[in-house]
Amino acid sequence: QNVRVKILATGGTIAGAGASSTRAAYKAGELPIDQLLSAVPDIHKVAKVTGEQIASIGSQDMSIDIWLKIAKRINEIFKNNEADAIVITHGTDTQEETSYFLRLTVKSDKPVVLTGSMRPATAISADGPKNLYDAVVVAASPKSAGRGVLVSMNEMVFSGRDVTKSNSTSTSTFQSADFGPIGLVYDGMVEYYRKTERLTGTSAPWDIDKITKLPRVDIAYMYADAPATAVNAFVKAKVDGIIFAGVGNGNMNKANLDALAAAAKSGIIVCRDSRTYSGRVTLHDEVDDDKYGFIVSDDLNAQKSRILLMLALTVTKDRSKLQEFFFTY
């Protein structure tokens, strides 16, 4: 095989080791990439696979600094023609954030595929080796090019844009509630069934290679009788943007509406999102967005909206332009 697949390892359960094969308790991120690869010798029949350790963390510790490092490294690998495709091993907790961040910042149509596992390497029926093998199959396939950054888990391929971790422990945790998987992996082959329309980093106006720091965007959450304490604390911390995970179609009570309206008036970008698991947040539904100066997230969940807003704020502070980004990416 002459397709060159570079694996960038960041840690997660796929690199997790537990005390025994039957106990779920373990520590994430311990095993180096070479050890993960040695569990799947057949992987070298699929492609010319090499590994590179970027981090060794549980993905709850993923940071903007590491995101910048991964995105810049990927752009460099493709620019220098060091590989034809990339697989990233990653903890599952924030994998959906990293997949969207990279979708928006990688400047190549070549395949970039994230994977991970729910069971540590030491467990019975560990899902890591199979997921790693499948991810290399996906990355090595010419069919995977031009689809944006992908997530390959549990024999399904998702767009890095709309995939989300839907279950705290199940091996079928990765889902896209509105759109489902875009492809399926089986028997060492991948087949695709749909494309994601939204734009990727290849046409984005921000240049991640020149960015060293991102604007600060935080997330507040709505629930019955929620006080505005969180929103007010973010305003006090001088954030650049607030994603508000409202109820239903991005709704909030009066306490939070007043606080968010004041935040927007002071120049903070306020984006209405939803704590629901699926669907869109639409302009001018129950909330008069023009009156309060809010924008809406469309179908992105709060953690993904935060990423788009951080990147978009590096190029503009204009509300209508920012809103347009949410309908484009």
Annotated binding site: 59, 92-93
Please report, as residue ranges, which positions from 66 to 125 form the binding site for ligand GLN (by CB under 6 A). Answer: 91-93, 116, 118
d(CA 269, CA 260): 9
Active-site option among 13, 171, 196, 200: 13
User: Nearest residue to ligand GLN, using CB?
Assistant: 91
For residue 167, state whether it binds ligand GLN (rule: CB under 6 A). Answer: no
CA angle 153, 136, 300 (to 5 degrees): 40
Pick from 152, 151, 132: which is nearest to 42 by CA? 132
Angstrom distances, CA of residue 232 to CA of 70, 241, 268, 318: 33, 12, 12, 23
Annotated binding site for substrate: 59, 92-93
Query: 321 φ, ψ to 5°?
Result: -70, -40
Least distance (Å) between residue 102 CB and ligand GLN: 16
Least distance (Å) between residue 99 CB and ligand GLN: 13
Edge to edge, what strands does the sheet with 150-153 contain?
Answer: 48-57, 4-11, 85-89, 112-115, 150-153, 156-159, 183-186, 189-192
- Pick 173 or 323: Cβ nearer ligand GLN: 173
Tell me the torsion sign for CA atoms 155, 161, 162, 164: positive
Least distance (Å) between residue 90 CB and ligand GLN: 7
Least distance (Å) between residue 16 CB and ligand GLN: 7
Structure-token pair, residue 97: 């954030």
- Pick 120 or 250: Cβ nearer ligand GLN: 120
For residue 18, state whether it binds ligand GLN (rule: CB under 6 A). Answer: no
- Pick 60 or 172: Cβ nearer ligand GLN: 60
For residue 58, state whether it binds ligand GLN (rule: CB under 6 A). Answer: yes
For residue 28, state whether it binds ligand GLN (rule: CB under 6 A). Answer: yes
For residue 59, state whether it binds ligand GLN (rule: CB under 6 A). Answer: yes
DSSP single-letter state for residue 203: G
105 catalytically annotated: no
For residue 12, state whether it binds ligand GLN (rule: CB under 6 A). Answer: yes
- Pick 154 or 323: Cβ nearer ligand GLN: 154
Give 230's contacts (C-beta < 8 A, 6+ positions apart). Answer: 220, 221
From 40-48, 53-61, 99-107, 151-159, give the range in contact with ligand GLN by CB under 6 A: 53-61
Least distance (Å) between residue 166 CB and ligand GLN: 13
Count interface residues toward ligand GLN (CB under 6 A).
12
- Pick 36 or 220: Cβ nearer ligand GLN: 36
Query: 296 φ, ψ to 5°?
Result: -125, 160
Ranges of beta strands (E only) in 174-216 are: 174-175, 183-186, 189-192
CB 49 within 8 A of CB 142: no
Of the candidates 38, 60, 172, 229, which one interacts with ligand GLN according to CB under 6 A? Answer: 60
d(CA 54, CA 24): 26
For residue 263, state whether it binds ligand GLN (rule: CB under 6 A). Answer: no
Question: Could you list the active site residues?
Answer: 13
Residues that bind ligand GLN (CB under 6 A): 11-13, 28, 58-60, 91-93, 116, 118
